[in-house]
Structure 1
Amino acid sequence: MNVSFSVPPSCILYEYSSEEGHPSYPGGQWLPGALLNSAENCLSVNSKRSLGDVVVKWRDEGDDEVPVKNMTLKELREEVWLVAYALQTLGLNKGASIAIDMPMNVTAVIIYLAIVLAGYVVVSIADSFAPREISMRLRISNAKAIFTQDYILRGKKRLSLYSRVIDADPPLAIVVPTGSSGFSTKLRDCDISWPTFLERVKNCKSDCFAAVVQPVDEFTNILFSSGTTGEPKAIPWTHATPLKAAADAWCHMDVRKGDVVAWPTNLGWMMGPWLVYASLLNGASMALYNGSPLDSGFAKFVQDAKVTMLGVVPSIVRAWKSTNSTFGYNWSAIRCFGSTGEASNIDEYLWLMARAHYKPVIEYCGGTEIGGGFVSGSFLQAQLLSAFSTPAMGCNLFILGSDGNPLPQDTPGIGELALDPLMFGASNTLLNANHFDVYFKGMPTWKGKVLRRHGDEFERTSGGYYRAHGRADDTMNLGGIKVSSIEIERVCNGANDTILETAAIGVPPLEGGPEQLVIVVVLKDLNNLETNLDTLKASFNSRLQKKLNPLFKLDFDFDIGFKCCPHFFPPKNSVK
């Protein structure tokens, strides 16, 4: 990938002996002594790219008949440098955390790279979060400022964003206007408009910004992954993590110079930063559609931008298939699809492949704490729909048996998944939890190394493929978003004063595919079942969407089939 170091590492991997050990690096330390800046590497000229190469392609929803907009490496560098200079006017200490809560558009990508280039730390917040969730992430990360947008346009809907952000009470917001007619909401006195922010350094437009070079283990990004305690785990990415993301794209999806990579996502989720590094470090262009990926406008953008690698979440594919929104568009430029976030459905993915003359789907599963994948598909192997063909490059997988120890490698089996601790780019600390306790405490050893906990239940088939069977803990996956049952139950328990408690369950469909949310309700008075269940369901959906995420909803209708008493049990095969 032509990664350049200001100071090269003393070695690639320093393995600790069992006697010396190291609590932060079980097994070993990668690239010790190296100094670099991962954003600088994204913007540098090398054998993979020149200043005139197009590195970003984008289109806004509603501009479907307008030519795709392009940005060259030269233009991207100048925009990033300008924002980096403007960041210095905020008077923040190097290493300070700065949040981004925006749609993943070209401005958000520029801001992201500028924060890392200038030696600060990005705090990733999804643009769908409610104020409470935003506030929690600002508090955990100790963010000193936040970049946000006035509002989000989705079709004819105007979705507030700045108003949600200020309800979370950040110390400072830099606000990007959505339209050309000014702001829809008056800014707080302490906040700064995007034009005013850039005006501070308007004379630095073409001045090269000297990247802040840092040790390889310095933080670049704080992302969040659902924990089982109700508070999300705050996972720092370092300067090594972008190299892991880009290496996965190079190895498993063959991303290379001249490719155009699209993956509908957001900087609040790991696939947002992954897309930035996977494309730029490999000499490819990233393709950004500022709008809903579910409608025909996105399908047309894939055609017009000549996307060669299209990443998806299974829920999106299901929507495309049900509405046939991709009909009539030419996706022949696609060389492969990538899929992550949820379990996929075989029939839906056969349909997806047919959109691009049956190009393969590279299934890809990993985690925010890994910065990429631990299991994947590969162009070098025959692919099986909705299955993984290989551990990701540099990873070893272990399936734990009923006794908690690894099953013999390369033999069929099903159980909780464990990982080799020597994974390049994987996390070695958490901001709000003990990293060793979360990932290593109580885990078995293999060849003298303690294995790393992951939490998914996995199967290795007799044919040598891998299939995911959901979480082994109290975390579920809804629409590609991991959330703990505790978070959902806390919201649902307050939906109605007749509720004693609730239990949230993620149920995979029989035919395969994304998990569906079911809520089990225990009423305070079991002899009074007059609660209007439709009203209760609507209340649950409303609270979940307002207090957690607007993408969450119940998938099944309620049904009360019997009254509970100490000696009555439902028939074994009934579902109520």
Structure 2
Amino acid sequence: MQDSNAFENQPFAWTPTPDVIERARLTQFMKQVGVSTWDELYAYSIRDVEKFTEEVLKFLDIKFDPPYSKLLDVSNGPEFPVWFGRNADALVRTEGEARTTAATFANKKGWHERGYLRHFDGVVTQFITFRLADSLPQSVLKKLKAELEADNLSDTSDEYRERVEDYLDRGIGECILKRKDVAEIVQEVILAEDGKSCRLISWVIMPNHAHLLLRPSEGHSLSQIMQSMKSVTSHRINKLLGRKGAVWQPDYFDRYIRDEEHFVRTLHYIVNNPVKAGLCSAPEEWPYSSSNKTQVPSSALDGTRTPSSALSAKHEQNLSPEEPAIADEGVRVPSAGLNITTMCLDRWQTDEMKDQPAVICESEDGDVRTATYAELLGLVERCSAGLRAEGFGKGDAIAIHLPMTIETVAILLSINRIGAIAMPVFSGYGVDAIASRLNAVRAKAIFTCDGFPRRGKFYDAFTTAEEAVSHSPTIENIFVLKFRKAAISYQLTAVSYIEFETLISSDENRVPEPTFAEDPLIILYTSGTTGKPKGIAHTHASFPIKAAQDMAFGTDVGKGTRICWYTDLGWMMGPWLIYGALINGATICIYDGAPDYPTADRMWDFCANHEVEVLGISPTLIRSLSAQSEGVRVPSLRILASTGEPWNPDPWWWLFNEIGGGELPIVNYSGGTEIAGGILMGNPILPIKPCSFPAPCPGMDVDIFDENGKPVERGQVGELVIKQPWIGMARGFWEEKERYLDAYWRRFDGIWVHGDWAMEDDDGCWYILGRSDDTLKVAGKRVGPAEVESILVSHPNVVEAAVIGVPDEVKGTAMVAICVVSEPGAIATGLEVELKALVAHEMGKPLAPSAIHFVSALPKTRNAKVMRRVIRAAYLGEDAGDVSSLENPQTIEAIRQLNDR
């Protein structure tokens, strides 16, 4: 832990000018919510986190379809919040209301937040969606049945019917229908009435959805149609209370309004372009065509036959043979809730934004490439179409083992766009680290590359990834990017190799998968103090929105801002940069290479050449660059930022003076993968002290607790805690609920304990002083000691190992391993070199120990727990504290002497 006394009574190094404050996006947000000072804003943000988050969404112009009536549900406890959960607004509206809404947005393209869109002839059309469930949610039915039985309600009573309808109104999870029930409802509500209330324009049944397009008949309203639907569906529920097996779940009623012409044209495209739509691999496999007016047989509706297991379509009107084809446009279907890629890309396809650079990438050899927002969307759409053609879709885990490039950005978004789950891994990881993560999520595919240049040499990424896949039986496909364009020898026979250029050769497919805001988006692995790495689960509405919020408020990023953060996709700041920048309409500037090659000024030259305005960089990198460079002023820079580890004063001042000229703020940023961003963060409207955080992030209800769970006084060091949920918080560890609870929630009831030592000074500035648990941060990267220890003991000559972190002038923290060997003679045969190479191979060279020492025994408690705290203190020559629980306290002295050698 850093010495807190080093930060006492510091003066402020930077103070914002009035014009900087006035221009800041944070100031714009404060005006939106009606506050005039930072203190008022922070109090507002934690007084009502639901209202605050609503305002953030409004500020970022993030719309959900439909909007949700209950923003935050903590009924299962603060450790499991559901944001934008399953409680939809009641969207039943009259035709008149719909027309008014439609008229208001008549000139806007796309979906309105309420689901209404102008029809060409001014008549509103109703689009209803039913969603397929894989299994019956017995808990819902049991709860409903128990409630009804407890109240002795007759199934013919009005109250019984009202209670069932109330369940329907709550949205998904409550209304249970089989495939044949959907068809029966259509018959009972629409066709049986012979078009009296509405006209069935078209309908389509897919594996996960049934879509109905309806138009009200004259004298009838949308609300009447919806009431009829609810009435029949309620009757269906009554008969299903004891049913078991596969079922249909209606999605939110009244979710979509779609113009008839586009809907019919889309169906026309689906039926007549089955290969491009992903329905089959050859046209002859698809016998149903609107051109020959072949009708889909009724068996497709009862589940006994679904062509290509993909889609069945039925038209209730004839299509004109002169109707223009839309093969170039592709299939467009509406989203369901939120697919975050629409906020990153689709909404920027305007005359103002589509030609703005979305990504600028420079490789180490100086090659510069740019993708505009229109070009990036096109690449994402082609990659999405290729993934769908290979059979990948919602819920599939797909790994990404790539350096930061334009293609990497597109691949991440493509995985998100099809509803699959992205799982990035650090591009420098070794075989074991990659394989363990692939197996943990049961990944079905991995994107990798032949390699990439680093310090003038070509790093072979493919061989490492291929060997990892050989230990991962769930992998079906390896997608390969060939940066060198040279031939690759593929060794594995159990997987399919597909080169990226082949994958993206499909036509664009503009179909963002219907996903809910709380559907899984990404699994980011980070290390813990014990056991295997932690898979942090984030959703479409968690990580990206928190990233965009912090980027807008902390680093003042908006439309057109050029931001560079030197990072890797395998660390949280990689996805953070992509989602946050694109949601804000900014330009991502990527340098794909060593930051000090061929000279120590490479990063500064990169920033100058591409007019970077916001630069994020780690303290470790600044320690290294400051020893090699005199610094270069970059005129375009207006904000410097850092994250990953605590600062020490000398490199902070070097960055502030030599790069920032004493005029630019250094926005310090600390949080974590589990946070989806920051707990503490600077911003452009508050003065800054060296190495400090001026305040918590807005919306983060933060405190510092002592060992008994009580707040400490200013100036005292304690545990950094969070007292209320925030939108970006992890939704848990992937398939490890208990481990998640143990990690953060079980020390203090209802309180998130983050694992950092923190202090707040008398001026309200915050400081992070190090980890309060054993997790190491080596050059800003979190490493679990147990993960490295398990690699060391895999060597036949190593019996036990303990890994600790020690101060390092360049890395901040260096990793040191203390090992017990089976044969003392093995030490003389170069065992230290072997072990360093072993860890480098499995974890990657950046995470290899800087030193390995050998002892006869490790300090242990009587229940055989290795005491890393005691080992570290002894190695650094510090007081080891209470060692009464040790079984072998004599081992301490041998470790104390190691650092003297």
1:331-381 Cα offsets, whole Å, 9 max, x none, are 121111111112222211211122132311111111111111111112221
Contact (CA 8 Å) 2:344, 2:582: kept in 1 or not? yes
Contact (CA 8 Å) 2:83, 2:518: kept in 1 or not? no
CA distance in 2, matches of 1:349, 1:504: 28
Contact (CA 8 Å) 1:492, 1:540: kept in 2 or not? yes
Question: Which consecutive residues of structure 1, in runs of 5 or more, have no partner in the other structure?
Answer: none
1:469 Cα deviation from its structure 2 partner: 2.2
Which amino acid letter does the alignment assign opposite residue 53 of structure 1?
Q
Q: Which residue of 2 aligns with 1:229?
A: 530
- Going from structure 1 to structure 2, the CA distance change for 1:554 and 1:119 (only over 3 Å counts) comes to closer
Contact (CA 8 Å) 1:399, 1:458: kept in 2 or not? yes
Which amino acid letter does the alignment assign opposite residue 67 of structure 2?
P
Q: Which residue of 2 aligns with 1:216?
A: 517
2:489 to 185, 201, 208: 185
1:409-441 Cα offsets, whole Å, 9 max, x none, are x63321222212311121122214225523454
Which amino acid letter does the alignment assign opposite residue 406 of structure 1?
K
CA distance in 2, matches of 1:566, 1:387: 39
Contact (CA 8 Å) 2:778, 2:815: kept in 1 or not? yes
2:800 to 501, 507, 510: 501
| Alignment map for 1:320-335 (pairs within 5 Å) | 320-324=625-629, 327=631, 329-335=632-638
Task: Determine whether 1:444 maps to 2:748.
Answer: yes
Q: How many residues align?
A: 548
1:559 Cα deviation from its structure 2 partner: 9.6
Which one has a larger percent helix, Structure 1 or Structure 2? 2
Task: Determine whether 1:411 maps to 2:714.
Answer: yes
CA distance in 2, matches of 1:352, 1:312: 10
Which one has a larger percent strand, Structure 1 or Structure 2? 1
1:200-233 Cα offsets, whole Å, 9 max, x none, are x1xx24x6x0212311110111110112333111
1:146-187 Cα offsets, whole Å, 9 max, x none, are 11101122233121111111112232101010113x334346
Q: Which residue of 2 aligns with 1:355?
A: 659
CA distance in 1, matches of 2:854, 2:742: 37
Task: Determine whether 1:385 maps to 2:680.
Answer: no
Contact (CA 8 Å) 1:260, 1:309: kept in 2 or not? yes
1:22 to 64, 72, 76: 76
1:383 Cα deviation from its structure 2 partner: 0.9
2:838 to 523, 533, 543: 543
1:103-124 Cα offsets, whole Å, 9 max, x none, are 0111010111111112111111
Contact (CA 8 Å) 2:359, 2:370: kept in 1 or not? yes
Q: Which residue of 2 aligns with 1:288?
A: 590
CA distance in 2, matches of 1:569, 1:22: 46
Q: Which residue of 1 aligns with 2:378?
A: 78
CA distance in 2, matches of 1:133, 1:344: 28
Task: Determine whether 1:6 maps to 2:65.
Answer: yes
Contact (CA 8 Å) 1:343, 1:512: kept in 2 or not? no
1:431 to 699, 713, 734: 734
Contact (CA 8 Å) 1:220, 1:239: kept in 2 or not? yes
- Going from structure 1 to structure 2, the CA distance change for 1:567 and 1:165 (only over 3 Å counts) comes to closer
- Going from structure 1 to structure 2, the CA distance change for 1:566 and 1:283 (only over 3 Å counts) comes to closer
| Alignment map for 1:475-490 (pairs within 5 Å) | 475-490=775-790
SS in 1 for 2:530: coil
Give the structure, 1 or 2, with the largest relative contact order (CA under 8 Å, sep 6 or more). 1
Contact (CA 8 Å) 1:98, 1:115: kept in 2 or not? yes
CA distance in 1, matches of 2:825, 2:489: 45
1:243 to 524, 536, 545: 545
SS in 1 for 2:379: helix
CA distance in 2, matches of 1:94, 1:86: 14
Which amino acid letter does the alignment assign opposite residue 817 of structure 2?
I
- Going from structure 1 to structure 2, the CA distance change for 1:49 and 1:214 (only over 3 Å counts) comes to farther
Q: Which residue of 1 aligns with 2:118?
A: none
Q: Which residue of 2 aligns with 1:461?
A: 761
Q: Which residue of 1 aligns with 2:84?
A: 31
1:303 Cα deviation from its structure 2 partner: 1.2
CA distance in 2, matches of 1:300, 1:285: 18
1:268 Cα deviation from its structure 2 partner: 1.2
CA distance in 2, matches of 1:134, 1:317: 29
1:70 Cα deviation from its structure 2 partner: 2.3
Q: Which residue of 1 aligns with 2:773?
A: 473
- Going from structure 1 to structure 2, the CA distance change for 1:347 and 1:163 (only over 3 Å counts) comes to same
| Alignment map for 1:80-95 (pairs within 5 Å) | 80-95=380-395
Contact (CA 8 Å) 1:332, 1:356: kept in 2 or not? no
Which amino acid letter does the alignment assign opposite residue 528 of structure 2?
G
1:55 Cα deviation from its structure 2 partner: 1.4
Q: Could you state the TM-score of these two structures normalised by the residue count of structure 1?
A: 0.88
Contact (CA 8 Å) 1:537, 1:554: kept in 2 or not? no
Q: Which residue of 2 aligns with 1:300?
A: 605
Task: Determine whether 1:100 maps to 2:153.
Answer: no
1:538 Cα deviation from its structure 2 partner: 2.5
1:43 Cα deviation from its structure 2 partner: 0.5
CA distance in 2, matches of 1:530, 1:32: 59
SS in 2 for 1:261: strand
CA distance in 1, matches of 2:70, 2:370: 39
1:287-310 Cα offsets, whole Å, 9 max, x none, are 011212232443321110111111
1:568 Cα deviation from its structure 2 partner: 8.9
Contact (CA 8 Å) 1:262, 1:310: kept in 2 or not? yes
CA distance in 1, matches of 2:752, 2:429: 30
Task: Determine whether 1:51 maps to 2:354.
Answer: yes
**Bigger Cα Rg:** 2
